[in-house]
Amino acid sequence: MRSILRAADYTSTSVFETEERALFRRLWILAGFRSLLDAPDAFVTHRIGGVPVVIQNTTAGLRAYVNRCAHRHAPVQIDDFGTRRLACPYHGWVYDGDGRVRSIPGNEANYGFDGACVAALRLEPVALRIVGGLVFVNLAPDPMPLEAQFHPAFLERAAHASGFVGDTALFAKFDAGYNWKLNFENVVDRNHVPFVHAASFASLAPSLKPPAPGTRPPSPPPQPDAEIGDDLRELSFDWQASFDLPSLPWHEAIERCARTEDYVNYFLYPNVNYIVMSGAIHLIQQYCPAAPDRTEYRITMALGRRTKRLPAAPAILWSQLKSEKRVIDEDTVVLEALQRGLANDAPPAFHGAGEYRLRRIAKVYRKLMEAA
């Protein structure tokens, strides 16, 4: 059957702008690992639904603000992450933990603001929730409860796993030439793995290898469209596979939340996949919409908390990141080519009954977009 999403949903600027409003400025968005923001003045920045956001460990605790100075709107933090006080780099205005202007260098000589005026100047706050080791933000003025977006039991499992994340991590980002929705659809689509990742990822996962000749893969339950609900919480789920992953000596130095062979995905609609490998490596993949046909792909790869010294930690993360990038590159080749072929009058995608998850994503997406 045909998807209810049209090609234009992946290519049109007006659809993209509605998504920024209806999805990204309304839903909870996973912003990163809590443990990487433990140091005083540690921060991370994002662009969510077209709005710059900074999440900063302040004297008042972890806070999120629109990353736009109250003076002339320069970003208060420019880098993707770092450790730096909450002060605007343009004219040096300094903010306190509650986002209020604490000092304005040369106020009298350069600006002439009186006390009442300065007291009213502040950064715009953004809602923030911490779940285990995960930090979520929401740009809505009156955010929906987190539990309306994610099943509580799912959040509990993600909270448990992420509670093991340590403070050693690598960050990478790159541009991908396709619509962000293709990425979420791709990660929940297991059918592509034996073909796109035959030589990499699939070779590690017995359950994902193509079936031997003469054997039939188990067919998923047929799911007529009428039975597919439009519950937003159903779009986020976890999925566990057993891989042929070796037990490695450095695993001993890490506090682990799962067994060596476990590979767990937590899909967090709309744009994140949180993966835990061997209970020891925690990976967040974020598909941040940049344009209808451009996605900023951000990867944060962290080790679990260390129980002993591990001088090789950076080398371990670097080699894991390289393997991860290889798998992502395999997807990117296909998704970028798919995007290039999407003319607005192309027919919608054709789904089988087993692809009910993709149809559910489309159904909920339509509902969210129409509500806007």
Residues forming the site for ligand FES (CB under 6 A): 69, 71-72, 74, 88, 90-91, 93
104 versus 176: smaller Cβ distance to ligand FES = 104
Task: Say how many Å lie between the first and final Cα of the chain, rounded.
Answer: 27
* Binds 69: which of ligand FES, Fe ion, none (CB < 5-8 Å by kind): ligand FES
76 versus 158: smaller Cβ distance to ligand FES = 76
Question: What's the closest the beta carbon of residue 354 comes to Fe ion, in angstroms?
Answer: 17
Strands 272-277 and 262-268: antiparallel
Q: Please, what's the b/e burial string for 336-366 (b: 16 or more CB within 10 A of its CB; e: otherwise)?
A: beebeebeeeeeebebeeebbbbbbbbbbbe
- Residues with Cβ < 8 Å from 84, sequence gap 6 or more? 41, 43, 77
149, 129, 201: which is closest to 23 by C-alpha? 149
72 versus 160: smaller Cβ distance to ligand FES = 72
Instruction: Give the CA-trace dihedral at 68, 70, 72, 74, to 10 degrees.
Output: -30
* Binds 150: which of ligand FES, Fe ion, none (CB < 5-8 Å by kind): none
Question: What's the closest the beta carbon of residue 176 comes to Fe ion, in angstroms?
Answer: 12
88 versus 139: smaller Cβ distance to ligand FES = 88
Alpha-carbon distance of 149 to 227, in angstroms, equals 20
91 versus 294: smaller Cβ distance to ligand FES = 91
| Angle (CA) 228 240 153, round 5° | 65
* Binds 190: which of Fe ion, ligand FES, none (CB < 5-8 Å by kind): none
254, 287, 285, 294: which is closest to 271 by C-alpha? 287
Give the residue nearest to Fe ion (CB): 331
* Binds 237: which of Fe ion, ligand FES, none (CB < 5-8 Å by kind): none
70 versus 316: smaller Cβ distance to ligand FES = 70
* Binds 93: which of ligand FES, Fe ion, none (CB < 5-8 Å by kind): ligand FES
Question: What's the closest the beta carbon of residue 323 comes to Fe ion, in angstroms?
Answer: 13
14, 329, 63, 46: which is closest to 200 by C-alpha? 329
Question: What's the closest the beta carbon of residue 326 comes to Fe ion, in angstroms?
Answer: 11
262 versus 331: smaller Cβ distance to Fe ion = 331
* Binds 331: which of Fe ion, ligand FES, none (CB < 5-8 Å by kind): Fe ion
Question: What's the closest the beta carbon of residue 189 comes to ligand FES, in angstroms?
Answer: 44
Alpha-carbon distance of 208 to 273, in angstroms, equals 18
Question: What's the closest the beta carbon of residue 73 comes to ligand FES, in angstroms?
Answer: 6
Residues in the chain: 372
86 versus 303: smaller Cβ distance to ligand FES = 86
* Binds 53: which of ligand FES, Fe ion, none (CB < 5-8 Å by kind): none
Contact between 336 and 297 (Cβ < 8 Å) = no
69 versus 303: smaller Cβ distance to ligand FES = 69
Q: Please, what's the b/e burial string for 252-277 (b: 16 or more CB within 10 A of its CB; e: otherwise)?
A: ebbebbbebbbbbbbbbbbbbbbbbb
Question: What's the closest the beta carbon of residue 32 comes to Fe ion, in angstroms?
Answer: 22
Question: What's the closest the beta carbon of residue 87 comes to ligand FES, in angstroms?
Answer: 8
* Binds 276: which of ligand FES, Fe ion, none (CB < 5-8 Å by kind): none
* Binds 30: which of Fe ion, ligand FES, none (CB < 5-8 Å by kind): none
Provide the binding-site residues for Fe ion, judged by CB under 5 A. Answer: 331
Contact between 97 and 82 (Cβ < 8 Å) = no
- Residues with Cβ < 8 Å from 5, sequence gap 6 or more? 181, 348, 349, 362, 365, 366
Question: What's the closest the beta carbon of residue 331 comes to Fe ion, in angstroms?
Answer: 4
Alpha-carbon distance of 127 to 25, in angstroms, equals 11
Contact between 160 and 132 (Cβ < 8 Å) = yes
